[in-house]
Amino acid sequence: MNFSWMAWTLPTALFFLAILLLLVGMGVWEYVSPGGNPRIGILRFETTRGDRLFVSLLGSAFIHLAWLGLIGPNVWWATALSLVYAIGVFKFV
Query: How many residues form the binding site for another protein (CB under 8 A)?
Result: 23
Burial 81-93 (b: 16+ CB within 10 A, else e): bbeebbeebbeeb
Smallest gap, in angstroms, from Cβ of residue 16 to another protein? 6
CA distance 53 to 45: 15
Smallest gap, in angstroms, from Cβ of residue 55 to another protein? 8
The CA-CA-CA angle for residues 88, 90, 93, to 5°, reads 80
4 part of the interface to another protein, by CB under 8 A: yes
Site for another protein in 33-92 (CB under 8 A): 44-46, 54, 58, 61-62, 65, 68-69, 72-73, 75
**Contact positions toward another protein, by CB under 8 A?**
4-9, 11-12, 15-16, 44-46, 54, 58, 61-62, 65, 68-69, 72-73, 75
